[in-house]
Amino acid sequence: MADVLVSDFVAKQTSEERARERRSTEMKLLGSQEVVLELTDTNDHVYFEGPAGTGKSYLITQSARRFNRESRKTLVACWNVLMADELQRFVGGLPNVDVADLNSLMLQLIGIPANPADAPHEWYTRELPERAIAVLRDKPHLGGYEAICIDEFQDVAGNLLLLELIFALAGTGRPAGTKLVFAGDSRQQIMRRVDEHVNPFAIAKSLIPDLVHVRVRRNCRTVPGLTSAVESTLRQQLGYTRHRVAKSVPGGLSTVDIVNGNEAGALVAALRDLLQHHAPEDIVVLSPFAEKRSLAGRLLARPEKSQDERWLRKQLQEEGLPGKIRWRSVFKFKGLDADAVVLTDLGPEAKDFVAAQKLEWSDLLYVALTRAKYRCVLLKPEQVSS
């Protein structure tokens, strides 16, 4: 009877169960930030500022939910297309809330389906905003938003025409009478040349005198072990006052050396290790380069040369292929996050490319490294430091 009643048991979690548990914990940590909304509830105009992972996007979407419950016609917007898709996932479908990236919104206002082929920089920064503003001036009912929430505000702060557009979308041409909630991180200005960097809050404050500055400094996203490693890599503090994620949660930053120029082999080694802990759809491969020049893009564009490349073709997400591991440029993935990130193309060519664009390499690294929530892997070229 003792042998029947007393046995040895071993409890194990499947990868799916671990992922569900992580998601549940993440939402609880983000939910704890809602107290910030309660403290600022009586302010019509609020600016949330903080480093990556402090829940700024969550505060934007929860603000939109509150405005929706008050039956306010609400716009949630940003510049980044992929970020707009993410915001759509959280608040899209609410009866009083529209979600859009600002470029698509302006195209819709002027009645054309897409940007002109090979459109110059002037089109995005001057001509398109001016035309959209003119339409709103003649037809203010096309805007008429009672609440406007802008995420990644640092992307638009340097262009006063975009700020004029935001006010025009309220149908008033000025902030009075419209609820405004902005969120930004001045260190993530990688869409703008270094000599064009601005103080996003100061610009917004100059136009909205009663704008309330709320600093969020508690890390709600990244495991402390990874955060410490990122700070060590960047040789600077990220600005957190405390971590809501428990120190016991596993994760961190590691490197895989590229030996004899075998980038594909290094990427395979990194991904195989990450797949032991995370589902393929929770992993993203990032590069400073756009699709054609990135490591993943180059590998998928050419015939397979090795067994490693054949394996990668089965894992990387591409139209017509079964893979689920996403690969993006750092610029496109800004504002988003993933359980695990592999950072590729860290050699001299990428640094020269970033310098030629008059961008700051350390800022790009900051954005790239802080996309990861649990694990980040750097593919390290021979004799090249991060």
Parse the chain into domains and list their residue ranges.
32-216, 224-380
CA angle 217, 329, 117 (to 5 degrees): 120
| pLDDT tens for each residue of the chain, 386 residues long | 666 555 555 555 565 666 676 667 766 766 677 788 888 889 999 999 999 999 999 999 999 999 999 999 999 999 999 999 999 999 999 999 999 999 999 999 999 999 999 999 999 999 999 999 999 999 999 999 999 999 999 999 999 999 999 999 987 655 667 999 999 999 999 999 999 999 999 999 999 999 999 999 999 999 999 999 999 999 999 999 999 899 999 999 999 999 999 999 999 999 999 999 999 999 999 999 999 999 999 999 999 999 999 999 999 999 888 899 999 999 999 999 999 999 999 999 999 999 999 999 999 999 999 999 999 999 998 765 44
| Token pair belonging to 307 | 């067994």
Q: What's the topology of domain 224-380?
A: Rossmann fold (3.40.50)
Q: Give which of 206, 204, 148, 207 is closest to 180, Cα–Cα.
A: 148
SS3 at position 358 = coil
pTM equals 0.90
SS3 at position 27 = helix
Half-sphere exposure of 254 (CA within 13 A, CB side): 14
Dihedral (CA of 349, 363, 242, 35) sign: negative
Collect all residues with Cβ–Cβ distance below 8 Å to 277 and sequence separation of at least 6: 15, 18, 250, 340, 374, 375
* pLDDT score recorded for residue 20: 73
Domain 32-216: top CATH class:
alpha beta
* pLDDT score recorded for residue 17: 64
| DSSP secondary structure letter of residue 194 | G
| DSSP secondary structure letter of residue 127 | I
* pLDDT score recorded for residue 30: 66
Can you tell me the distance from the alpha carbon of 354 to that of 347, in angstroms, rounded to the nearest whole number? 11
* pLDDT score recorded for residue 385: 47
* pLDDT score recorded for residue 242: 92
In CATH terms, are 32-216 and 224-380 the same topology? yes
The pair phi, psi for residue 73, each rounded to 5°, is: -70, 115
